[in-house]
């Protein structure tokens, strides 16, 4: 649960968030991800936490408040995670692999929060909050486009590559892990993304 506190930037060393609040957020993320935002009620969250609804409402006024915190925190944190691991001094193709692998590592570590955030990303009626999340998402995608642009300039990718379309392809390969990836499968998310990287870089054609 402390990982979730780090993800959402809750409290600090002197004033850490309560274990109860972290428990609520952890349970809510899992329920939102498995039952859907509309399918998970405040009663469900309270029952899973083993607390009364009054105690739950003491921490959060409604489930929208929970999901908005998770959605903003996840979108911001994935960018900060990638930015911390990106090294422009590396060859562009190595940077691309780091980008994809670290995205997968982040997904594995914060899977429930990512799934819950993905469900809410486009549905928040508060325009200001939605704009803030889009700004963090755009920063994340800008790192990827910078890597692809460097690969073209370095001669690693063809000169006529559409950077925007290539970026969407890479992002889709990682982001859609949320739809079909199973932790109990034969491959980890990182192993899957490593294969995605090799397929994107090498293509599907058999070497001649």
pLDDT band with cut points at 50, 70 and 90 for residue 95: very high
Q: What is the pLDDT of residues 149-164, one digit of tens each?
A: 999 999 999 899 999 9
CA–CA–CA angle 193, 196, 197 (5° rounding): 90
The pLDDT assigned to 65 comes to 87
Q: Are 26 and 5 in contact (CB under 8 A)?
A: no
Quick one: which of 27, 20, 199, 178 has its CA closest to 96? Answer: 199
For each of the domains in the chain, give its residue range(s) and CATH number, in order of start: 2-202 (1.10.357.10)
pLDDT at 168 over 90: yes
pLDDT band with cut points at 50, 70 and 90 for residue 183: confident
Kind and range of the H or E element at 108?
helix 92-109
Which residues fall within 8 angstroms of residue 37, CB to CB, at 6 or more apart? 63, 67, 116, 119, 120, 123
Q: Are 104 and 193 in contact (CB under 8 A)?
A: yes
Q: Are 95 and 147 in contact (CB under 8 A)?
A: yes
Highest mean pLDDT among 5-9, 119-123, 168-172: 168-172
Residue with tokens 């994340």: 140
Q: What is the pLDDT of residues 50-73, one digit of tens each?
A: 999 999 999 999 988 888 888 888
pLDDT at 208 over 90: no
d(CA 126, CA 58): 23
Once rounded to an integer, what is the mean pLDDT over residues 176-181? Answer: 79
The pLDDT assigned to 207 comes to 63
Q: C-alpha distances in angstroms, 121 versus 90, 175, 191?
A: 32, 13, 27
- Which one is predicted more confidently, 25 or 2? 25
């Amino acid at each position: 649960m402390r990982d979730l506190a780090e993800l959402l930037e809750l409290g600090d060393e002197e004033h850490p968030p309560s274990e109860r609040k972290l428990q609520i957020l952890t349970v809510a993320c899992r329920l939102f991800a498995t039952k859907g935002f509309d399918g998970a009620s405040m009663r469900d969250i309270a029952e899973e936490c083993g607390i009364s609804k009054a105690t739950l409402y003491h921490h959060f006024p409604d489930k929208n408040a929970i999901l908005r915190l998770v959605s903003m925190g996840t979108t911001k944190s994935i960018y900060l995670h990638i930015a911390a691991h990106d090294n422009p001094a590396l060859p562009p193709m190595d940077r691309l692999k780091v980008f994809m692998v670290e995205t997968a590592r982040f997904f594995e570590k914060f899977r429930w929060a990512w799934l819950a955030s993905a469900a809410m990303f486009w549905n928040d009626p508060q325009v200001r909050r939605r704009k803030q999340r889009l700004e963090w998402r755009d920063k994340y995608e800008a790192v990827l486009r910078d890597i692809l642009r460097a690969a073209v300039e370095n001669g690693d990718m063809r000169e006529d590559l559409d950077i925007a379309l290539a970026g969407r392809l890479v992002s889709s390969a990682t982001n859609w892990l949320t739809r079909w990836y199973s932790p109990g499968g034969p491959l980890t998310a990182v192993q899957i993304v490593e294969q995605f990287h090799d397929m994107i870089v090498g293509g599907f054609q058999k070497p001649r």
